[in-house]
Each structure stands twice: as C-alpha cells, then as structure tokens.
Chains A and B, each alone.
Chain A
Amino acid sequence: MERKRRLIEPGDLSTGEIFHLLRLANDILADPAKYGERCKGRLLASLFYEPSTRTKFSFDAAMLRLGGQVIGFSDPNTSSAAKGETLADNARVVSCYADVIVVRHPKEGAARHIADYADCPVINAGDGGHQHPTQTLTDLMTIQKHMGRLENLTVGVCGDLKFGRTIHSLVSCLSRFPGMRFVFISPEELQMPAFVKDLLHRNDIPYEETNQLEQAIGSLDILYMTRVQRERFVSEEEYLRLKDYFILTEEKMALAKPDMIVMHPLPRVNEIQRDVDSDPRAVYFDQVKNGMYVRMALILFLLGLDKEA
C-alpha cells in the first residue's frame, strides 16, 4: 500500500515543497474567495489530546474557510482514549471517516505513531516537547514576509530550548537554507537537545550557546522568544526557578538592530513585556494570522487539491 503523505517533522517536506506551500499560502491570503470551495465535501479530524487554542482554531478555521468540515475533540476525556483505546486503533477508526487528521498529543512521537496506522494524511500539530512543524511553516511565512528572505540570517532562539517543540522544528528546518547562523540563549537546564545540535553539526551550520540575552541581541536578525512551559516540568519548584529567566523589555530592544524582528509562537506569559507589543519589530501577532493561511495551503497540498482544477 502506498504510504500517505504526512507532516510529522519538517524533514517530511522538500525545500521545493516548502516554497510551494509558502507561495500557495500567500496566494490564498491575497484572494481567499478563490479557494472558498476547494475542500467542499472533505472532512478534517482534529484530535487534540492536549489543550490548544491557536493551533486548533487555526486548523479548524483553515478547513472551514476552504469549504470543508471539521470533526474531532479537544479533550481526550471525551474520546474513546478515556476507555483505553490505543492510539493505533484510534487512528485506524478515525481515518475511516476523515480525509485528513490533525493530531496534538503530549507524548513525543505520538503523531508519527498515529500516521503509521492512519489510512489518510496525518499532520503533527505538536507532539510533547518534540516537534511542531506547522508552526514552522507559519514562522517561515512570517520571516519571508518581514525579512524578504530565508537565507543569510542570524537567528537567536531564547527561553526553553529543551522542551520548545516550535524551535526544534524551526531550527531543523532553517538549517537547510544557506548562510544560517544560530544563537541559542537559555539557562543551562533548558539547553537545546542533542538531536537538533547533531543536525547542525552534520551540516556544518555554526551556532553558539549563551545565557546572556543582552550580549547576544545586537547580532541577531531574528529573535525568537519562547515560553518556559509549566506543563513540561515534573517539579513546580524547578519551573518557578526558571520561568522568569529571560524577559524581553524595551530596554533590551534598544540594543537590537533596527530591522531585527521579534517572533513568538504564543501563548506568552511574561517573557515579552507588554510595552514591546507596540514596537514595529514585534511581529508575533502577524505570525498568528499567517498560521491559518499556511495551514490552508498544507491541507490543500496533502489532499492533492493544491493545483487548479
């Protein structure tokens, strides 16, 4: 049986396919009405075993704006998982009804496991602290829009790099573009995991690690802030000790380049102070908007509906 297309990690897409998705997303953004019926009669199953606002709404809105429909749950206690059904059986059953599955799960590798059993395309909407590839597509669209390029950039990622699935996917994906350089800004306990650094080593991509945001910020083209995620910590004490480690303020922004952009996958807690929101370099709310269009493009692509009829 032919394996269905899937997006579990950025490596599932070629560079050509990424640029195709970004072009398509921008085309949808420019003329959404053209795509309003493209998914008519198609069904998206949205399986959220972990809370989400942005990503779930973004996928649901994307499918509805394409003329399709959405089924699913956002609380695993209301699904058959509560009865002890395995993820594999859940995947087999849901793929009998749906044309595409979007899954978020607290366990790392869960989306891949589901994709192995589903008979339709599966999209990883976040698997624990591992990967979040559709956030990466959102980020790429935002970077391309604000920086005008996806190459020759110095990208600083700051905060919880250990459990930050968005930045694992982003750094892995950006490493395929030429002239990239990374600065990993985190406390020692939350440093970037080995699997991301291995990838950079293998591809001779330069990176440095520091715990000093003020010293690093002046060299950056992009500052990607992340939240220290309470839900990933076993110890509340450890979370409380690390949660305020980095806070981006207007004083720190004064040290940055005039054309640097600040990104954040949201939700934020207090790692970016509210006064930074009005800084023209803060683009995190634009990121949210881009997310829906790039997910519309991805749904069309995985369903083979991305080309004109």
Chain B
Amino acid sequence: MINVSKLKKGIVLDHITAGHGYRVFRQLGLDKLSDVVVLMTNVDSERMGKKDLIKIETDLPLDFDVLGLLDPGITVSYVENGVCVRKAHLVLPEKVTGILRCKNPRCISQTEDVEPITFHLVDARTKEYACEYCDARTHL
C-alpha cells in the first residue's frame, strides 16, 4: 500500500475513471506545473471498484468544460488548511469551444483558419458533439 500525505492546500480530482487519470493529467497541462502533483491510478474505491485520483498542491484555475468532457464523473475538491472547503460535481457540457477539432474532411475548418470552433452536445450517452460549421459528429 502506497501512502500519500494529506493535502494542506490545493485541489483533489477524485473519482476519475480508472485508466483515465493520465489523460486528465495531460489535458490539464499538469506536466507543466512546478508545484507538487500526484497522479494515483487503480486506487480501491467502494463506489467504483477502481479509480484514478490526482492531487495538486496549488490553487489552479481549472477548465470545467475540459474536465466535464474528459470525464463527467470527476469530483473536484478544493482544500484549505487540510480541510475540503468546496466540492464541484461535473456535468457533460452542452457546448465546448476551442477544445475539439472537426474530423470531417469536407468541413471548412480543415482549410480555413476559422474561429475556435464551438461544438454542441448531440448525444450524452456517446458523448458526441456536432461541429457548428458542418454539423458532423465528433468526440474527444
């Protein structure tokens, strides 16, 4: 059993689907932080069986749209003086801008420098989004 000391101040990303932790770590750019970041994978969980977990020893502005898109089951806890002062539960965002890329080869976004594209959620079950320009479906 590996023990990681309790966080005094920072953010805990809990209930990450097992195996998805590294993806969340990369997407949030945590590899570029100079603060302490701990990524734990395959942690025992009563609710999930196994889960991943990330502890960040700093107060970082998080993009909840990116997090919700990556894994809407994640719980975000803000810790101060070793105590959780705020929790946020994520949802799959209804629209995301500048995160997804359109994969349709016939879309104008493939050849022109378009504004950051907004995608609208069309199927929550499959996490599919539609491109605002061509309506083609895509997912992360």
Contacts and interface: CB of A to CB of B under 8 A. Distances in A.
B106 A113 contact: no
A130 B107 CA distance: 9
B112 A88 contact: yes
Contacts of A112: 108, 132-133
Given A128-B106, A129-B106, A195-B130, A113 B137 contact: no
Contacts of B111: 107
A86 B113 CA distance: 8
Interface residues of B, number: 21
B69 interface: no
Interface in A104-150: 105-110, 112-113, 116, 127-130
B45 interface: no
A1 to B, nearest CB: 16
Contact of A195 (B106, B107, B108, B136): B136
Nearest to A129: B106
A110 B114 CA distance: 10
B135 A113 contact: no
B77 interface: no
B112 A108 contact: no
A116 B107 CA distance: 16
A87 B122 contact: no
A127 B104 CA distance: 14
A87 B137 contact: no
Nearest to B109: A109
B107 A109 contact: yes
A108 B114 contact: no
Nearest to A232: B106
Contacts of B113: 86, 88
Interface string B47-60: 00000000000000
A194 interface: yes
Interface string B112-140: 11110000001100000011111111000
26 contacts: A86-B112, A86-B113, A87-B108, A108-B107, A108-B108, A108-B134, A108-B135, A109-B107, A109-B108, A109-B131, A109-B132, A109-B133, A112-B108, A112-B132, A113-B112, A127-B108, A128-B134, A129-B106, A130-B135, A193-B135, A194-B122, A194-B137, A195-B122, A195-B130, A195-B137, A198-B123
- The 5 A-B pairs with the shortest beta carbon distances in the complex, nearest first, are A109-B133, A108-B134, A195-B135, A109-B108, A107-B108
Interface of B: 104, 106-115, 122-123, 130-137
Given A107-B110, A108-B135, 9 more contacts: A88-B112, A108-B134, A109-B134, A112-B133, A113-B108, A127-B108, A195-B135, A195-B136, A198-B123
